[in-house]
């Protein structure tokens, strides 16, 4: 996909809709990491506290890192909710997870960029991507990643709101 602008949700999900297990992502695809970096560089990335804690190297460089939490964490900007974080943002914003952030970000995002990994993940500690309401989101075409055809991708765009509402 070419560079997009606005507020996007970005996630990788297993066939079952799993995004993480026990505080980590249970797969690794370098093509997807490279694409994630390319898309998010220069923008604001908004994440939940557990996703921040899960990052092996933090902050993610050359991006404004923002954490949503009731706590204060040294070395990173923190906000108690997404709306107050967004009030300080200019330019492109990516909601990078985890599940709680994705769920709340559905109200604020213009599009959802999903990568489907081929892994099967069944684990008691699994967390899932929230349901996508197709009355609100229009599904784009399912396309393979050009560098790794095992990975499929779909972008959902927010449907135009009915102006008579
Ligand atoms: N596959 C992927 O693309 C992907 C991407 C990112 C993360 N992940 C995985 O997702 C898992 C983490 O997800 P998660 O849902 O458990 O945690 P999370 O959303 O990363 O963090 C949850 C915490 O963030 C704060 N928070 C999140 N949303 C909030 C909101 N709307 N308002 C106020 N506070 C909010 C709260 O922090 P306080 O308790 O401090 O107040 C909450 O306890 C990990 O396994 C991670 O590896 C996967």
Which CATH number fits the domain that encloses residue 126?
A: 3.40.430.10
Residue 37 lies in a domain: yes
Residue 121 lies in a domain: yes
Looking at ligand 1, which residue's alpha carbon is closest to its atom 6? 97
Instruction: Show contacts of 137-146: CB within 8 Å, 24+ apart.
Output: 137/112, 142/116, 143/1, 145/31, 145/32, 145/35, 145/115
Which atom of ligand 1 has the smallest separation from the CA of 104? 31
Q: Region 28-32: what's the mean pLDDT? A: 97
Residue 165 lies in a domain: no
pLDDT in tens, 56-111: 999 999 999 999 999 999 999 999 999 999 999 999 999 999 999 999 999 999 99
Q: What percent of the chain has pLDDT over 70?
A: 95
pLDDT of residue 160: 83
pLDDT higher than 50, residue 35? yes
Residue 73 lies in a domain: yes
Which atom of ligand 1 has the smallest separation from the CA of 82? 31
Q: pTM score, two decimals? A: 0.96
Q: Which domain holds residue 61?
A: 7-158
Residue 103 lies in a domain: yes
Residue 164 lies in a domain: no
Residue 18 lies in a domain: yes
pLDDT higher than 80, residue 161? no
Q: How confident is the model at residue 1 (pLDDT cuts 50, 70, 90)?
A: very low
Q: Report how many domains make up the chain.
A: 1
pLDDT higher than 50, residue 9? yes
Task: Determine the distance separating the centroid of ligand 1 and the alpha carbon of 56, expressed in angstroms.
Answer: 15
Task: Determine the distance separating the centroid of ligand 1 and the alpha carbon of 67, expressed in angstroms.
Answer: 9
Q: Region 8-33: what's the mean pLDDT? A: 97
Ligand 1 site residues, Cβ closer than 6 angstroms:
11-12, 19-20, 23-25, 47-51, 54, 68-71, 81-82, 96-101, 104, 127
Distance CA 88, CA 137 (A): 26
Residue 58 lies in a domain: yes
pLDDT of residue 162: 60
Task: Determine the distance separating the centroid of ligand 1 and the alpha carbon of 97, expressed in angstroms.
Answer: 6
Which atom of ligand 1 has the smallest separation from the CA of 47? 20
Collapsing DSSP to helix, strand or coil, 37 comes out as helix
């Amino acid at each position: 996909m070419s560079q997009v602008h606005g507020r996007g949700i970005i996630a990788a999900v297993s066939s079952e809709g799993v995004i993480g297990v026990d505080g980590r992502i249970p797969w690794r695809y370098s093509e997807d990491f490279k694409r994630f970096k390319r898309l998010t560089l220069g923008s604001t990335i908004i994440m939940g506290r557990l996703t921040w804690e899960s990052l092996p190297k933090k902050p993610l460089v050359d991006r404004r890192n923002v954490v949503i939490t009731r706590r204060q964490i040294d070395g990173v900007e923190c906000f108690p909710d997404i709306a107050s974080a967004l009030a300080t943002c200019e330019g492109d914003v990516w909601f990078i997870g985890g599940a709680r952030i994705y769920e709340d970000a559905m109200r604020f995002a213009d599009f959802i960029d999903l990568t489907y990994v081929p892994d099967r993940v069944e684990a008691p500690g699994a967390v899932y991507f929230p349901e996508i309401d197709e009355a609100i989101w229009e599904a784009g075409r399912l396309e393979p990643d050009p560098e790794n055809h095992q990975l499929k991708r779909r972008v959902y765009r927010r449907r135009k709101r009915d102006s008579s509402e």
